[in-house]
Structure 1
């Protein structure tokens, strides 16, 4: 079983994989991978990062992912809808969400993800 230890001071996840690899994954990486790849959760983002540490992993076309995120249509209506739906979605997610070691840092990851998306949309971080 993969073991995860968080260091909130350094904002890092230290992971020992099932096959004995030791990885240090910054919180920022988890947040940005989720945003760039359109993943459903931070847990999925962490799992995807771990999978992509294998030498035979399929490479990601990062330039295309940045372009896609930068060019995504963010209208005021969409933002308002998301904010209105957020409490209901959070309740549904909590009801179906399996406990995770990332639960205590979800707010931090969300803030990092939001800042990252803003930076990409302004033409930075590539």
Structure 2
């Protein structure tokens, strides 16, 4: 649904007391393509762009964002370079969308003092 029309004044403020590792996001992208170890690594690297599209800030020295890739090997790549490029682009797009859907559907923890979910702040 995008950002609110009028962001809160502190929406882009850096945390007063950054906590290393407190904002780590771990993801897995999976495909039925037949990939070598190097190609699977490249797929994970390309998919990592999906985190940067969905999470701000991303890739800071304070987080441990990480994307794993998995491949069943069922479908060989007809054009290893072109197919891997298209697969990586799709993985980044899908991962960004998955993060957005996760945020949208998340519920706040039923614990006193827990931070509210996106729905609590912006409706949905």
| TM-score normalised by structure 2 residue count | 0.22
| TM-score normalised by structure 1 residue count | 0.22
- Structure whose alpha-carbon radius of gyration is higher: 2
Higher relative contact order (CA 8 A, sep 6+): 2
